[in-house]
Structure formats: C-alpha cells, structure tokens
Amino acid sequence: MSGGLFDRWFAAPAPAQAPEATPAVGLQLWLDDQARVLRLAGPLRSLLALPGQAGARVHDYLERHSWLVLEGHPADWQGQPLDLDFHTVMGHALHTRGWLQRHEQGWMLQLFDIGDLLREQRWDRQRPLLGEIGHALRECGAERLAQTVREQLRSLTEHWQAAALRLVLREPGGWRHFASSDDAWPWPDDRRLRDRLDQWPAQTLIEVRDDPDLLALCGGASLFLVPYRQGLEAEAWMLCAGARQVPAVDMAMALVRSLTEPLLVRHRRQQLQHQAHHLDDLQQQLGAGWWEWPAHGDLQLDPALAAALGFDSRVGQAQWLDRLHPADREPAQLALDQARDGQALSLGVRLLDRDPLAAPRWFQWAGQGRGGQLRGFLLDISALKAQEQQAGAARARLENLIARSPAVIYVQRYAEGALHSDFYSASLAPLLGWEADGEFARQPGLAVHPDDRPLWLERTRSLLRDGQVRCRYRLRDHLGGYHWMLDEARLLRDDLGQPLEVVGLWLDVSEATEAAERMRQSEERYRVLVEDSPAMICRYRPDLSVLFGNRPLADYLGCTPEQLQGADLGQWLSADQREGFIQRLRALTPEQPVSSAEICLQLPGREHAWWVWADRGMFDGEGRLLEVQAVGRDNTEVRRSQQQLLQGAKMATLGELATGLLHEINQPLNVMRMAVVNALKRLENGAADPAYLEDKLRRIEAQVERAARLVEHMRVYGRRSTVERERFAAWCAVQGAHALLEEGLRGKGVALQLESPEAMPQVLGHQDQLEQVLINLMVNARDALLEQQVAQPWIRVRQALHGERLWLLVEDNAGGIDARLHERIFEPFFTTKPAGVGTGLGLSVSHGIVSQMGGELTVSNTPGGACFCIELPVHCTS
C-alpha cells in the first residue's frame, strides 16, 4: 500500500467541492444533514448487514462502540479521521478508516478497509506474549507446572480484558481443567459445559450466543471458546468469559496453541514415564523382561532381568548356553538356529542358579527374528511348571488308584436309540478280566446274569427316560464267575436336550452283598459285620449317652470302643447342631421311626467333619422312645467339594464383576483427589481457612468410608461361608447383590430395579450364598438381555410374603425361556449358551443352595420375559 494512500487515511482533505465522479474503491455513504443514509457505493458495500427499516441513520450500520465517534451531526465530523466498525453479513466487524466531506446538498463519507493493518498491529503486540508463554511452560519444573499455567492464563486474561479464562485438556475418561483463578471463574458448576465439549465442532473460534443455560451460569457475560485440534478431535479448549470483544480468530488460536502445545508435550511425557515405571514394576512382579540378539553380537538383556538372573547386560552365546540345564542346551541351540532362519522362537528352558543346591528356574523363552536380529521376552514360569508337575503326579496317582480299586469308570455313546461302549478305565482287566476290545466290553449286556437281564433292560430305559440310574446286578468275569456290581450312571445331553453319552461307575459290591446275606442268616455274623463294617454304627439313649459304638465310629472320634460307652454324643456337636439333633429325635414316632440328616461335628484334630446320619427309634408299648440305632458315613470330602464348587462359582462371579467394582472404587478416589487438589491450591495461594479445610477433610473421610464399605463387602462376599447357618434378612442379600452388580449392569445399558419391601422377614442359612444365587440369576438375565438385544432392557427384583413362605422374584424382559427347558434348566452342566461360554453349573449350584435352606427355586415365563422365584421358609425368632 503506497504512502499517499496512508496519508489519505490519517489526514482527511476537505475540498470545497467533491469531484463529479468518485473512484469506486473502499466504501462511500451519502448522508443528509441528519446522518440518514441516502445511498451506498463501493466494493465493500456487499459486506454490510443492512438495517431492516427504511431511512436508517449511519449509526444503524455500525457497531455500538463506534457511535461515540459520530456524536452530533455530520457537520461536526469534518476535518478529523474517522475509525468506524460496521456490522457485516458474515458476523464479524468490518474495520474502516476515512473522512467526511461536503457533497452537493449533503455529505459523503469515504472509508477504506484497515482490517489488515489492525491485524498486523495486534500480531506485533502479541508476538512477545507468544514467546513468553511457550518459554515459561517449557522451562518450569514439574512441581510448578500448574502454577505456571495459572500465571499464563492470568496474563491472557489481562491481554483479552476478560473476566476469567479456563483451559480444558482432554484426558482418558474426561477433561482436565486449569483456571486463571478459582475465585474469578464465574461458573459455580460447569458440568453442563463439560457435557457439551465433545459436541462442538473443533474448527474455529465459537461465540456462544444461543445457549441460555451456559450464559446464565457465567452471569450473562459473553462467552467464546477457542479449540486446539490435533487430527479430527479437539485436544483442548480455551474458555473465555466476560471479554469486552471477541478477539481475532487467527490470533486467538495462535495464543491457545502456544499455551497448549508445550503443556500437552509435558503431560504426555509424564504419562510415558508413568507407563514405563508401571511396565518395569509389572516385569519385576512377573519375573519377565526383554532380550535382543543381533545377527553378529552378544545377547542383550533387560537390565532388571539381567540383575535378577545374575548376568551382565551383555551375555555371550556360550555363557548363555552354560547357564541352561544340560537337557535344554541342544533344544535351545536348535531353536535359536531356526529362529535366525525366520521361525518363531517359543521354548521352555531351565536356568541353573548360581547356588548349585538351588533348584533350576523355568523360563518361557520366546521371540521373533527379522533381518538376522532376534527380539523377544523371558517369562518366569516356575510356578506353572511346579503346578503341572503336581497335577501330573496327582493324575498318575488317581489313575493308579482307579486301576487298583474295585471300580470301573465307563462311557457309553448314544447312537440311533442304543448305547454303545466307548471307554473303560484301566481297572476293567484286574476286576473282570475283560479285554478292552473283547465281546463283553463291546456288549456288556451279554455278561449280565440271566436272572438280572430284565433289570439290565430296565436300567437302559431308565437312563434314557430319567437321565440317571442306580441299580445292582451281576456281571460275569473271564473265568465264568459272577460279581455283584453297583451301577451308578448319568446321561449327558446336548444343548437341544438330545442324548449324547452315558458316564457311569461300576463298583464291585460282591463282598458287601454276600456279607449282607450272611448277616441275615446269623446274629453272630451280624455282630462281626457291624464291628468290621466301614460304616459308623452305634446305639444311644434319647439323652445322647452312647450304649454301643463300633470301631470305625471310635476311630473317627479319637477313642476306643470301650471309651464310647456312656459318652455324651453331643460333646462333638455345636450348640445349634445339638439342638437340631434333639429336635429331630423328638419328631420320631412309632409310625415314623426313621430319620436321616447331615450333621456337622467338631472332631479332635480336625476342623469339621460332615456325616450322613440315619436314625431308627426303638419305642416301648406306650410309644416312648427308649433308644436309637444309628448308622453314619463320612461325607466330609463330598461336602468340601460342594463348598469348593460354591466358592469357585462365587469367585468366578466376583472376577466377572471386577471392572464395574473397580469403577465403583475409582469414583470416591476421584472425589478425594479433587478435594486434595483444591485444598493444596488454597494452601499455595494462602487462602485456606480452617472451615474450608475441615469441609474438604470431611468429604475425603466420607469417600474413604464409601470405598471401605465396598471393599469390605467384596471381602465378606469372597470368603468361605461359615459352617453354622445364621438368621438374616433375605432382602439384605438382594442389597448386597445390587451393590456388586449395579455399576456393571449400568455400563451395559441394563436397568436394575429394586422394589424395597415394607417388612424385612428373616430366613435361616448363609447370606453370602443367597447373594450368590441372586447374582447368578441377575447375570443370566443380563446375558439373555444382551443376546436378544432388547431395546430397553431391565431386571426387576421384588419380595412377596405368602403365609410362612417368603418369595424373592427376579424378572426380566428378555422374552422368556423355552418351556421345554424348564424341567432341565437346573441340571448340572446344562446350559443354553454357546460352546465354551459358561459351565452349566450356575443354576445347578443355585438350586442346591436354595434346597439346603429348605426352599425351592423355580422358573416361569411372564408376558415379557422370565421370572425366577426363590421360595424360602420364614424363620421366626420367637
């Protein structure tokens, strides 16, 4: 632009008469003496936003602050340069400079666009500020980073003449905020603003005009947002409240970039350092580390791994192979050569310890070659190898035990309506002398005693009809003799309920059967059989004083048969067990003299023992109970297996809920972190008063209690159930299941609805086990809802009382369960889920838990889905 033109801008001439033809440059406005616009001309006129009414004054075309320049009438504006800002159709102001001169009977206002000149002047003023911001953020220490950001924000606040600024950075899971001053920030609650950040386009500066909620939050002040974008999304936003005017877009974005880029670099560098520390910690905990082996050079080890193994960071090939177990050196050399040829390296090797007496450690040596250079990792698998060896030894012992025991495990395949033998355990040959591929093994029905063949046919029909069978019959051995066999078998079905195979056990009970026959023939033989029987047999009075006990019972109780006489049987029972035992005896009558139950005893040297105990009462002529004859068998291992199954199912459920529970714990941690950060800021600013600090500490204390309650609930739920049953409110189990599942269900879009009851009746059992049943039912409902892709999925839990029975109802809207599956849904290993998903034990375990509590678990369909009903007896405390 020439110097003459600049002179025209800054010193307006005042000719007596305007030329006849004004050049069409800039903008010309012809005015009358009242400043009404008569005509517009010039190329800039197309940019102006025209007022709606006719006869508008020149002020109607201008920004409001430009009215101060044009005070009075046009005659008062002559002889001075005029800087005027016009409204434009594009929304931003048109900056002009010019003069007023007389034209015929009116006035002509000649103006030129000076936007570029003003912009260059602003850039000249802001360049030092850009350099200062970047230099301050790059040079400050980590501990002063937040304070330095606040200082730079205060500088920008003064530069833009704004009320307050806030810088918002994107972080995983949310946004991080930096404010010029906590006290100066005008918004008491900016949650609604955070919700909108992801919705705004990150293209250019945004002036908020049509959001009354946000404008009300900042007291009606002006609000504009400047994005900082990397890629398609905004990595940061600068929020400015109360600025006198909207700054130029390019200058505002440059200032935001100068503040944001070094800050993001610092943050990402800290994140990388944290990740590196976490990776190092994880490698140390796993006993793992990386390694590299150049095509020509020594093996390079992760320094931490090398120190743990007693190596230098560089190890020669010969030194490496010398530290391997002699049996692993040749396979390692071969695997290494193949890896250099491009094959993957994956080998378990044993590293010898420096101490010759220490056992070698197992490592998984894995890697991949590229261009002759190998890279990979070493992972300590000593614990896994030890478990494999223990499992192998246990399997060998089990196979040896089966081979030596009088029992045969067999599998029969179902095909075309018949059962075909597929497998026999190794104990078949020692027990019956059959060859695995012999005629009797292929068709065992041919070896059945002629008198027992109807029983054999009925056994097959019962298996296919009922799914399980338990019966006795005689089988012929290779010498022609017969063995009494106890046959216990179960039919397994596929997902559609079709028979697949039969898994069964033959137990040789010939001796027991013959002994029972001899016992009926002779009282003496009966007495000897009682003494030598593996079962526990005794007689006792109604006051539980023992009259007689056989040797197995004495051995279990840690005494001799003589010491049992006169002993109190109740001394090995807890108070609750003894009370239940006596109540069961009182229920015996001459008409119903037999009773059986599972009892728990506290035996010497053992934690607990579980017996299946059967009583038969002996009465006098008047119906008074004289004594009781009892037979028992040890059921401890079965009970422990059941407890392990329950505990395993419980821990599997807890593992599935871990993500939601970690999120639940993370919430109070975030609240505590923000309270600590705010308190520290107040302390750094010297503005912290005791009342403020007390409020923050109490908030932290409340969140600690909240997290502690959740952790305590997880700990109580995860531990083993107590031996003795307890009284508890059934609805408490519902609340416990709700606490563990709520977050996970909400994350998957499933609504969990609890209808709190007015009364809280109590039941007898274990609260954590009932909670496990409810979790199983809710998780199954959740899986069904997600599989069916229900639009608005929900699960509802409610309680109902029917006389002395309490109902807990778990309902969903997943469409229900095929009615043909209702009778089989509680069978072990039955599942409708795809192969590899689920074990089929959840509902079976739940059914067992409810049955042990004296209740019943049933299923029915509702118009919208399925309803599982847990029916339990109400326990009266009176």
| Residue the block writes with tokens 């033998």 | 421
Cα separation, 13 vs 19, in Å, equals 13
Please give the residue that has the higher pLDDT: either 795 or 188.
Answer: 795
Mean pLDDT value across residues 36-62? 84
pLDDT tens by residue, 842-852 = 677 788 888 88
CATH 3.30.450.20 range(s) for the chain read 3-113, 287-386, 405-503, 533-634
Predicted TM-score (pTM) of the model is 0.32
Are 721 and 643 in contact, with CB atoms under 8 Å apart? yes
Q: Outline where DSSP puts E strands in 330-405.
A: 345-351, 361-370, 373-380
pLDDT tens by residue, 705-756 = 656 666 666 555 555 555 567 888 989 888 888 877 777 788 788 888 898 8
Q: What percent of the chain has pLDDT over 70?
A: 77
Upper half-sphere CA count for residue 860 (Cβ side, 13 Å): 6
Cα separation, 846 vs 854, in Å, equals 13
Query: What pLDDT sits at residue 607?
Result: 67
pLDDT tens by residue, 792-843 = 899 999 999 988 899 999 999 988 888 777 777 777 655 666 544 555 566 7
Residue 264 has pLDDT above 50, yes or no: yes
For 137-277, CATH number out of 3.50.50.60, 2.40.170.20, 3.40.50.2000, 3.30.450.80 equals: 3.30.450.80
Kindly report which listed range (139-143, 745-749, 759-763) carries the lowest average pLDDT score: 139-143
Closest-CA residue to 237 (of 200, 184, 208)? 200
SS (H, E, C) 747-770: HCCCEEEEECCCCCCEEEECHHHH
Cα separation, 86 vs 738, in Å, equals 63
Cα separation, 148 vs 496, in Å, equals 68
Question: At 630, is the pLDDT very low, low, confident or very high (cuts 50, 70, 90)?
Answer: confident
Query: What pLDDT sits at residue 501?
Result: 92
pLDDT tens by residue, 381-436 = 888 888 888 888 887 777 777 666 678 889 999 988 888 888 888 888 888 889 88
State phi, psi for 84 to the nearest 5 degrees: -130, 140
Residue 215 has pLDDT above 80, yes or no: no
Cα separation, 791 vs 813, in Å, equals 10
Which residues have C-beta within 8 Å of that of residue 338, sequence separation ≥ 6?
345
CATH 3.30.565.10 range(s) for the chain read 725-734+741-878
Residue 660 has pLDDT above 60, yes or no: no
Are 778 and 810 in contact, with CB atoms under 8 Å apart? yes
CATH code for the part of the protein at 3-113: 3.30.450.20
Dig out the tokens for 457 from the structure.
Answer: 């046919």
CATH code for the part of the protein at 287-386: 3.30.450.20
Question: At 474, is the pLDDT very low, low, confident or very high (cuts 50, 70, 90)?
Answer: very high
CATH 3.30.450.80 range(s) for the chain read 137-277
Cα separation, 609 vs 600, in Å, equals 6
Kindly report which listed range (92-96, 144-148, 861-865) carries the lowest average pLDDT score: 144-148
Question: At 448, is the pLDDT very low, low, confident or very high (cuts 50, 70, 90)?
Answer: very high
Q: Looking at residue 388, what DSSP letter applies?
A: H
Which residues have C-beta within 8 Å of that of residue 220, sequence separation ≥ 6?
none
Q: In the CATH scheme, what architecture does the domain 725-734+741-878 have?
A: 2-Layer Sandwich (3.30)
Q: Which helix (H) or strand (E) holds 629?
A: strand 625-634
At the topology level of CATH, where does 533-634 sit? Answer: Beta-Lactamase (3.30.450)
Mean pLDDT value across residues 77-100? 84
At the topology level of CATH, where does 405-503 sit? Answer: Beta-Lactamase (3.30.450)
Angle between the 730-747 and 658-685 helix axes, to the nearest 10 degrees? 80
Mean pLDDT value across residues 337-343? 82
Q: What is the DSSP string of 518-576?
A: HHHH-HHHHHHHHHH-SSEEEEE-TT-BEEEE-HHHHHHHTS-HHHHTT-BGGGGS-HH
